[in-house]
Structure 1
Amino acid sequence: MDPMEPVYGAGTLLAIAAVAVAVLLVLIIKLRMHAFVALILVSLLTGLAAGIPFGDIARVATSFFGSTLGSVALLVGLGAMIGRLLEVTGGAQVLADTLITRFGEKRAPLALGVAALLFGIPIFFDAGLVVFLPIIFSVARRFGGSVLLYAIPAAGAFAAMHAIVPPHPGPVTAATELQGSIGLTVLVGLPVAFVAWYVGVYLFTQAYAGKVMVPIDDSFLRGARGAASASGSTDDADDDAPAGGSDGAAHPPSFGLVLGILLLPFVLIALNTGIDTLRKAEVLGDGTLLDALAFVGQTPVALLITLLVATYVLGTRGRSLATVEGLLNDALGPICAIILITGAGGMFGGVLRYSGIGAALSDSLSDLGLPLIVSAFLIATALRVAQGSATVALTTTAGLISAGVAAADLSDLKIVCLVLAIAAGATVLSHVNDSGFWLVSRFFGMDVKTTLRTWTVMETTLGVTIFLIALLLWFVVP
């Protein structure tokens, strides 16, 4: 939907944007209004304040809401189902145990982090952390020392994947808002996440966080399991397995099988991207076979294929199809709120663009002489610090800068760099208004001060590392 002709000047539009963001933060932080409701309300009020006609405001808002959901909900839903199957069949435990054996005892934190990176590809931060809690405490008790030596690398890995790599909602929405390639975001984001995690999380843990002594206290573990069970994040559905069946703990999948399932969508997506690149370079022509290969490599199709494979090689091991159906159904409940909030964030960003506010902001930032990638990072950082939600910071920032991105006519690789920069800003400075902050604090028995000096600093080093990598790529890629 093309932006309307602005009713007001750039200064007035920017003032409206500033007030809109401030009102949004007050509603979410001070008045404790649900982010989904707050985003819808502020979107409508912003549109009215910016001069969108009464007769058009609802149509414009719902149009942007629907377009965002159309791109996000499918990927997030399929990703959550894949993560659920890997979780209940013992895939996380297999990853951790195998990697610790191969890395050696002295590199147990590194092994846990790598396992969390792999498992974090399809699963969300909070669900992944809950699943890994017993593994983290088991390894910590086995080798001793501060629990943070093992907890921070694993939790930081989930945070990195959640911020950077589709099918997580933040990067999916950001790439969609900026008219970028989700497949290319996956292919570039995956190695960036690994490098940023190693530098910003693992090395930081070895140098500092792991030396902060926090006793191993798993008294919260039972509560975590109960909470996860209530939200469909643990192996509760296995209680419904047929008599004589076996669960994931009794017959876990092999390491190679789990790794293969995790890598399958990225192989398919890489195939699609490679064919598209070679066609643009006129190395490959048209053909039914190439079209079919490109089709299976489109991100939704690749995830669907992966889900079908995981369902029948993992889910049906000792379970009936009815039980597997229940497991997949359980995976969708916890992500509904995230999907709806993401859609509402896309609505807010769309209204900002349609009213001309996005263009006014981009022009103002250009006048300051800041590169677009720096502006993206700073805006996302401001929103992250102010309201805590990385997803809201990602979606709102993408909407704010999308007009400038469209005007700049950037390559797909440049747009991926912008997505990474936004993700970096949405990662730094996690503090008391971030639910992830409290999850980590509660699960690992840290007070607020200790959490601030370890988790908050780690999130900042991770985000800054992501941004530096994005900045380097920005000046290197065409």
Structure 2
Amino acid sequence: MGDAQTLGSGPLLLIAAGAIAALLVLIISVKLHPLIALVIVSIATAFATGIAADEVLDVLVDGFSSTLGEVALLIGFGAMLARLVETSGAAEALSDALIDRLGESRAPLALGIASLIFGFPIFFDAAFMVMLPIIFTVARRVGGGVLLYALPAGAALTTMHVLLPPHPGAVAATILLGADVGLVILVGLVVAVPTWFVAGYAYGTWIGRRIVLPVPEVLMGGPRVDSADPEMPPVRVRTLILLLLLPLGLIFLNTAATTATRTGAIDGEATWVALLQLVGSTPLALLITVLVASYVLALRRGESRRAVEDLLDNALRPIAPVLLITGAGGMFGGVLIASGIGDALSETLQDTGLPLVVAVFLIAAVIRVALGTATVAITTSAGLLSSSIVEADLNAVQAAAVVIVLAGGSSVLSHVNDASFWLIGKLLGMSVVETFKTWTVIKTLVGVIAALLGSLVYLVAS
């Protein structure tokens, strides 16, 4: 904003609450399209909080573009990879192998465990798009509705994304609070597995059996590479697993190079280091995987280049609504941040007088609910609390536990100002109410359980 904010914390927080309530009414009761509702409420909130008229458009566009700048390429390349995996029969081959070895009743558990592993180095959006065709194929074969399989997998991915480095929120909190990265990973892993089992597997399968939805057609359409064609060799399960591990390995190289640079083990100015980090960045890792998959799953098996081009083009068409609504959710969050509501929350919550771990959780949770982005919530909270935590003279394990508690608070109550709320809801074909009953509850359980377990580690280490 060009001018300093003149409204006090109270009015700003009331405006934020009113804006969120207005969104819910417009989307749920009035049935206004979410994209239109988000833009209207974002504009109204900008004016209500005193953002100058000549700055409103810039704030809206910045919020929209910064969100899509993070997820558009991931979703786009992820959709292409998902389409190749689904149409080639590779997803069907892998799902058959999983079910043959573990049984149909354990399919949600198998998908969840695979997602825990896959979600360790890969950001939530990209990992979910890669897992989606496998989830859809298992759901079609076994039956019982798509949520029964998608929710445990999605919960596993978001649990790893929220709690563990190298994901951005956990990294920011670790640095700002002066914690040790290795200990944060260790404590995070100890916390993540039981957290996922209760929030993702137990609740996810329970609610997935009660809200039965068909497998969406979001990845369908366009030409199919027919794996049943006798002239086209079948895709081996080993081939698909290696393909799925390719972005994992590239991103691991990026992480290793970045960590070695920060510790001084290698020269961060070296050209080869920069190239390694570039190739291992998530968008380029997915791009490379799409290129390899295009050859391995289609061209090498006899498909024409034109058919592959059409297939990839068709993969992008169904995701346009998902991208636009996700960007609009980021727009609304950007308005809340630019208006000074985040600063107002920080000032209001700073002097809570509560025990450290309780204050850490509540501050992160309230900022998360107001602003909608976990990364901003955890970064803002860590910056706000850093001096207090340094003064508390915590030992290394306690500091790592505080990072986990903070990360837990940043996960709770995902709703209409959170990009992942729209991403999950739209990709899985859920209504807004169904997304609240499933994804919002799962994200809240992940945050609360992780914070409780992190607090237990904190107390034991005292």
TM over 0.5: yes
Task: Give the unaligned 5+ runs of structure 2.
Answer: 120-125, 175-180, 388-398, 416-423
Paired amino acid for 2:278: F
Listed as ranges, the gaps of 5+ residues in structure 1 are 138-146, 384-392, 428-433, 442-447
Q: Secondary structure at the match of 1:285?
A: coil
**Hey, what's the Cα distance between the residues in 2 that align with 1:340 and 1:460?**
24
Shift of 1:8: 1.0
Report the residue type matching 2:339 in the other structure.
Answer: S
**Alignment pair present for 1:258 and 2:264:** no
Deviation at 1:360, TM superposition (A): 0.6
Matched letter for residue 89 of structure 1: S
Per the alignment, residue 52 of structure 1 pairs with 51
Give per-residue Cα distances to partners, 1:353-389, cap 9 Å, x unaligned. 1121111123223344453444444676x78xxxxxx
| 1:71-220 pair list within 5 angstroms | 71-103=70-102, 107=106, 110-111=109-110, 113-114=112-113, 121-123=127-129, 130-137=136-143, 147=144, 154-160=149-155, 163=158, 196-202=195-201
Is 1:371 paired with 2:359?
yes
Residues 237-269 of structure 1: CA deviation (Å, up to 9, x unaligned): 217x8xxx9669964321121111112212211
Cα distance between partner residues in 1 of 2:111 and 2:290: 25
Question: What is the alpha-carbon distance in structure 2 between the residues aligned to residue 280 and residue 421 of structure 1?
Answer: 28
**Correspondence 1:362 to 2:346:** yes
1:430 corresponds in structure 2 to none
Q: Which amino acid aligns with 2:20?
A: V
Cα-to-partner distance string for 1:259-299 (whole Å, 9 max, x where unaligned): 11112212211211111112211122242322222221111
Partner of 1:238: 224
The letter of the residue matching 1:325 is E
- Give the superposition deviation at 1:417: 7.3
* Residues 8-55 of structure 1: per-residue CA shift (max 9 Å, x gap): 111111111111111121111111111111111111111111111112
- The whole-number CA distance in structure 2 between the counterparts of 1:296 and 1:106 is 39
After TM superposition, the score normalised by the length of structure 2 is 0.71
Q: Which whole-Å CA distance do the structure 2 matches of 1:405 and 1:365 have between them?
A: 13
- 1:49-92 deviation line (CA, Å, top 9, x unaligned): 11111122122221222222222211221112111111111222
Name 1:61's counterpart in structure 2: 60
Say whether residues 1:312 and 2:295 are aligned partners. yes
SS at the partner of 1:329?
helix
**Count of aligned pairs:** 413
Supply the AA of the counterpart residue of 1:88.
Answer: T
Q: Which residue of 2 aligns with 1:469?
A: 450
Contact 1:128 1:158 in 2 (8 A): no
Q: Could you tell me how far apart the structure 2 residues matched to 1:158 and 1:249 are?
A: 35
Q: TM-score, normalised by structure 1?
A: 0.69
Residue identity in the other structure for 2:56: I
> Which residue matches 1:426?
414
Distance change (3 Å), C-alpha of 1:260 and 1:471: farther
Higher mean Cα deviation, 192-201 or 314-323?
A: 192-201
Distance 1:122 1:113, change over 3 A: closer
Retained in 2: the 8 A contact 1:272–1:296?
A: yes
Amino acid in structure 2 at the alignment position of 1:31 = V
Distance in 2, Cα, partners of 1:358 & 1:26: 23
Equivalent position of 2:281 in the other structure: 298
Instruction: State the identity %.
Output: 34
Quote the Cα distance in structure 1 between the aligned partners of 2:109 and 2:327.
36
Q: Residues 460 and 65 of structure 1: is their aligned pair in 2 closer, same or farther, counting only changes over 3 Å?
A: closer
Aligned to 2:260: 278
Deviations 1:418-472 (A, max 9, x none): 6665445339xxxxxx95899689xxxxxx9xx99xx958984675245433665
Q: Is the 8 A contact 1:418 1:470 kept in 2?
A: yes
Deviations along 1:195-245, whole A, 9 cap, x unmatched? Answer: 644444445689x789x899xx9xx97xx5xx61xx4x2365217x8xxx9
What SS does the aligned partner of 2:127 have? coil
- What does 1:384-423 align with in structure 2 at a 5 Å threshold? 394-395=372-373, 403-405=380-382, 407-408=384-385, 421-423=409-411
Residue 337 of structure 1: which of 294, 308, 321 is its match? Answer: 321
Query: What corresponds to 1:326 in structure 2?
Result: 310
**Cα shift readout 1:302-330 (whole Å, capped 9, x = no counterpart):** 11111111111113223211111122112
Return closer, same or farther for 1:41/1:318 CA change in 2, 3 Å cut-off.
same
2:365 and 2:231 map into 1 onto residues whose CA distance is 43
Residues 402-429 of structure 1: per-residue CA shift (max 9 Å, x gap): 65455456999988976665445339xx
Counterparts of 2:442 and 2:262, CA distance in 1: 38
CA contact (8 A) 1:89 1:315 kept: yes
For the pair 1:16 / 2:22, whether they are aligned, the reply is no
Shift of 1:352: 1.4
CA distance in 2, matches of 1:465, 1:8: 35
